[in-house]
């Protein structure tokens, strides 16, 4: 595979329908950039479809479906490029989307990742849950976005069209520096799927790197294509992976913070119980059980990461020192712009 400046890499698993629907926009608006489909051991006819209809697109076939994280790690080891674009297969792109992000990344010293504005494909006037206009994290390490707080998404009225440094960029569509990606070992494969990009951004920020949102680049994301937003398995992965991420990257007194999260997750579980969503309640319990089972492995990762960043100054931009839970459920705030902006680092 030849050397490219930018490689747009789409991870596919049994997604022929999405490839049929969304590859035309990627091909049309990615001129001058390499396009690669990394197939995660699909059992449908995705590969034959690509070979018949897109012979110019490079194909990498992974030997197994190891999820989002392993799928990308395995594929990107074979891609020679200065920058990767991680792109979900259920995303429609628009004119100049790559070039706008690339210009922003290269114009900011220390920047290793940029995302576009992510709007909902089925309602293009509102932000999409996964990324919206850039990702942030609060003092309890709950992720949120410009345009999305918990499950509340805002209508896009251009209110977040300004470039802004963020805490994390979405894995649905992210331009990332290839050297930086491999410097931290890529995505953590133990996550399988969900929050692995936030974890990777956090690890890179602990090395002093930065991330930006460039909303003049616009994409439309279906979302929930592989795992529905209402799936108990998604609840399990989100709660489990949040604990994984905190354990690895949190720099304070970890046992005290985990105890705090145990209480907060317990409250979330009670909310599911009140709504008779017992499968989600059970998912939170399973998430905590798995976390405790994985403590020896997580402790080793935490120790290694602490050693690797001991002489480096972390970049805390995009960190919200307030409580998103308090803002949302006690003050009724559902819009990013209504949060106290003085509490952002």
329 domain-assigned: no
44 domain-assigned: yes
Euclidean distance between CA atoms 318 and 343, whole angstroms? 10
Averaged over 236-260, what is the pLDDT?
Answer: 95
Band of pLDDT at residue 278, cut at 50, 70 and 90: confident
The dihedral over CA atoms of 223, 225, 226, 228, expressed in degrees to the nearest 10, equals: 70
251 domain-assigned: no
Averaged over 302-308, what is the pLDDT?
Answer: 95
The dihedral over CA atoms of 80, 82, 87, 92, expressed in degrees to the nearest 10, equals: -110
144 domain-assigned: yes
Band of pLDDT at residue 227, cut at 50, 70 and 90: low
CA angle 238, 116, 47 (to 5 degrees): 70
292 domain-assigned: no
115 domain-assigned: yes
Q: Do residues 99 and 105 make contact, with C-beta atoms less than 8 angstroms apart? A: no
pLDDT recorded at residue 229 = 63
Euclidean distance between CA atoms 37 and 62, whole angstroms? 10
pLDDT recorded at residue 163 = 98
58 domain-assigned: yes
pLDDT recorded at residue 298 = 97
**CA dist 269 → 137, 189, 262, 285, 292 (Å):** 21, 26, 10, 8, 18
261 domain-assigned: no
pLDDT in tens, 26-37: 999 999 999 999
Whether 344 shows a pLDDT value over 60: the answer reads yes
* CATH number of the domain that residue 49 is part of: 3.90.550.10
pLDDT in tens, 147-197: 999 989 999 999 999 999 999 999 999 999 999 999 999 999 999 888 999
Neighbours of 229 (CB within 10 A): 11
Euclidean distance between CA atoms 48 and 187, whole angstroms? 28
Give the lowest-confidence range in 41-55, 133-147, 257-271.
257-271
Averaged over 285-299, what is the pLDDT?
Answer: 96
Band of pLDDT at residue 226, cut at 50, 70 and 90: low
Domain that holds residue 29: 4-221
**Phi and psi of 135, rounded to 5°?**
-100, 145
Tokens 């392993």 found at: 70
Band of pLDDT at residue 316, cut at 50, 70 and 90: very high
Give the lowest-confidence range in 142-156, 185-199, 214-228, 324-338.
214-228
> How many domains does the structure of the chain reveal?
1
pLDDT in tens, 36-67: 999 999 999 999 999 999 999 999 999 999 88
3-class secondary structure for the chain?
CCCEEEEEEEEECCCHHHHHHHHHHHHHHCCCCEEEEEECCCCCCHHHHHHHHCCCCEEEECCCCCHHHHHHHHHHCCCCEEEEEEEECCEEECCCHHHHHHHHHHHCCCEEEEEEEEEECCEEEEECCCCCCCEEEECCCCEEECCEECCEECECCCCCCCCEEECECCCCEEEEEHHHHHHCCCCCHHHCCCCHHHHHHHHHHCCCCEEEEEEEEEEEECCCCCCCCCCHHHHHHHHHHHHHHHHHHCCCCHHHHHHHHHHHHHHHHHHHHHCCCHHHHHHHHHHHHHHHHCHHHHHHHHHHHHHHCCCCCCCCCCEECCCHHHHHHCCCCCCHHHCCHHHEC
Whether 231 shows a pLDDT value over 90: the answer reads no
Whether 71 shows a pLDDT value over 80: the answer reads yes
Band of pLDDT at residue 110, cut at 50, 70 and 90: very high
């Amino acid at each position: 595979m030849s050397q490219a400046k930018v490689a747009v890499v789409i991870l596919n698993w049994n997604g022929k329908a999405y490839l049929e629907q969304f590859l035309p926009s990627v091909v049309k608006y990615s001129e001058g950039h390499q396009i690669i489909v990394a197939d995660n051991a699909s059992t449908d006819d995705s590969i034959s479809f690509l070979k018949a209809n897109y012979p110019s697109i490079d194909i990498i076939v992974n030997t197994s479906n190891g999820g989002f994280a392993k799928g990308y790690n395995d594929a990107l080891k074979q891609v020679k490029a200065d920058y990767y674009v991680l792109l979900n297969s259920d995303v429609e792109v628009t004119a100049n989307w790559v070039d706008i992000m690339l210009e922003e990344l290269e114009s900011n010293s220390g920047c290793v990742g940029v995302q576009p504005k992510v709007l909902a494909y089925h309602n293009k006037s509102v932000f999409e849950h996964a990324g919206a206009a850039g990702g942030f994290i609060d003092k309890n390490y709950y992720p949120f976005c410009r345009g999305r707080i918990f499950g509340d998404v805002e209508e896009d009225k251009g209110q977040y069209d300004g470039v802004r440094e963020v805490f994390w960029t979405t894995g649905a569509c992210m331009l990332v520096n290839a050297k930086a990606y491999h410097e931290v070992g890529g995505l953590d494969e133990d996550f399988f799927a969900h929050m692995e990009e936030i974890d990777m951004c956090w690890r890179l920020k602990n090395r002093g790197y930065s991330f930006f949102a460039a909303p003049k680049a616009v994409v439309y994301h279906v979302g929930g294509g592989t795992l529905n937003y209402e799936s108990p398995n998604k609840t399990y992965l989100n709660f489990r992976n949040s604990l994984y991420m905190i354990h690895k990257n949190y720099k304070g007194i970890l046992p005290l913070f985990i105890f705090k999260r145990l209480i907060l997750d317990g409250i979330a579980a009670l909310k599911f119980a009140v709504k008779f969503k017992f499968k989600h309640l059970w998912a939170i319990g399973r998430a905590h059980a798995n976390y405790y089972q994985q403590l020896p492995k997580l402790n080793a990762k935490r120790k290694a990461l602490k050693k690797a960043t001991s002489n480096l100054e972390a970049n805390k931009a995009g960190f919200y020192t307030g409580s998103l839970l308090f803002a949302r459920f006690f003050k009724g705030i559902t819009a990013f712009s209504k949060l106290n902006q003085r509490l952002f680092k």
